[in-house]
Amino acid sequence: MKMLGPIPQPGILDISPYVGGESKVPGVDKPARLASNENPLGPSPRAAEAFERAIRELHRYPDGGATALRVAIGAHHGLDPARIVCGTGSDELFALLASSYAGEGDEVLYSAHGFLAYPIVAQSAGATPITAPETNLKTDIDAILAAVGPLTRMIFLANPNNPTGSYLSKSEIERLLDGLPDHVLLVLDAAYAEYVDRDDYSVGHEWVHDRPNVVVTHTFSKIYALGSARLGWAYCPPAIADVLNRVRQPFNVNAPAMEAGIAALGDAEHFAVSKAHNDRWRPWLAEKLESFGFTVHPSVANFLLVSFLPHDAESVRLFLKSRGVLVRQMGSYGLPDCLRITIGTEDELAQLMAGIEAFLFQNEPHRQ
């Protein structure tokens, strides 16, 4: 049938829309939300208060340059505020980078089990997303380098990676950079960097200073628990920051979000409590799941990727949902035997374990 009305650009209708983790269960007022890698403790009280104060000025336009926020980020991390570009979550920054540095006929690389936003922004820009195989659910540097060709313009790598939880060491990233031509932009997505405790890990800000083709993106949605506020930032070489500031919308970050972000950065106690909670309950959950015979893939983030073989992962997920527990299906990531489980509150994790035990009991052969 002939299409009526305006026709979208080539490739747009080939995009599979992003589907986030579920947040509601019919008939359940407050489900255990373990599907979206949120901080289960909620935001800093200081951030919530700052957000509430800012809504009294909703009739005023925000600072289009996010000056106070960039200064606060720079002071907190020891970075140059002039190199910081803020966005409506890191997702907006991915899209701006893709539309600025890739287009029709270009290729954008990412690892086989990388974040699904990467191919979406590549296709939206008219470029072709290309995956490189992973080794043991970890980005393979040799595979990435082998996939770089004359059409390659960008590489997106989450470090740590979502949804696998694996990470790349500083030496691995440096080996990748040494093998890349300067015109290929490497975007390091550091959404989960605050959870990492590894001596060989680097967020990557030093490479932004030393190289012209590295950008590091951050979000306030994870450990800072500001997912609803939609707040992210990128640390860039000066030339790339200049490009992003030319193409972003004039008032792309709202004032309450900026105020909440500034306050969240200043609340070291809430950050420490959130980190300690994850440090305690991630290994606890991994041990419990392994005791049932499931394969728990190593993670340095605030979630676990779990293989439920020999059981059907979707059956496990639906059973848990029927009991008010939401976890993330992984079929769209090419991992149909797995579920991704966020580290929730103590009560939520107890509810999860009770649900898994009930699932296993109902699937055991009937005892005499």
For 215-267, what is each residue's pLDDT tens digit?
999 999 999 999 999 999 999 999 999 999 999 999 999 999 999 999 999 99
DSSP 8-class letter at 61 = P
Outline which parts of the chain fall under CATH 3.90.1150.10. 18-42+269-363
Outline which parts of the chain fall under CATH 3.40.640.10. 45-266
pLDDT value at residue 351: 97
pLDDT value at residue 367: 39
pLDDT in tens, 311-324: 999 999 999 999 99
Confidence label for 6 from pLDDT (cuts 50, 70 and 90): confident
Confidence label for 9 from pLDDT (cuts 50, 70 and 90): confident
Element containing residue 186 per DSSP (H, E)? strand 185-189
Check pLDDT > 50 for residue 269: yes
CATH architecture designation of domain 45-266 = 3-Layer(aba) Sandwich (3.40)
The pTM of the full predicted model, rounded to 2 decimals, is: 0.94
Q: Which residues pair with 346 in a beta bridge?
A: none
pLDDT value at residue 368: 37
pLDDT in tens, 99-141: 999 999 999 999 999 999 999 999 999 999 999 999 999 999 9
Per-residue CA distances from 143 to 153, 166, 175 (Å): 16, 16, 12
Query: For the domain bounded by 18-42+269-363, which CATH number is listed?
Result: 3.90.1150.10
∠ CA(226), CA(38), CA(331), 5° rounding? 130
Residue type, 228: S
Quote the tokens at residue 294.
């499931």
Assess contact for 148 and 182: CB atoms under 8 A. no
Q: What whole-number distance in Å separates Cα of residue 298 and Cα of residue 303?
A: 10
pLDDT value at residue 41: 98
Dihedral sign from CA coordinates of 138, 209, 203, 94: negative
Check pLDDT > 60 for residue 47: yes
Percentage with pLDDT > 90 across the chain: 90
Query: For 206-218, what is the mean pLDDT?
Result: 97
Beta strand 107-111 with 128-132 is parallel
Q: Burial, 188: exposed, middle or buried (Cβ in 10 Å; 0-12, 13-18, 19+)?
A: buried
Identify the residue whose tokens are 């947040």: 23
* Nearest Cα residue to 87 out of 161, 18, 189: 189
pLDDT value at residue 94: 98
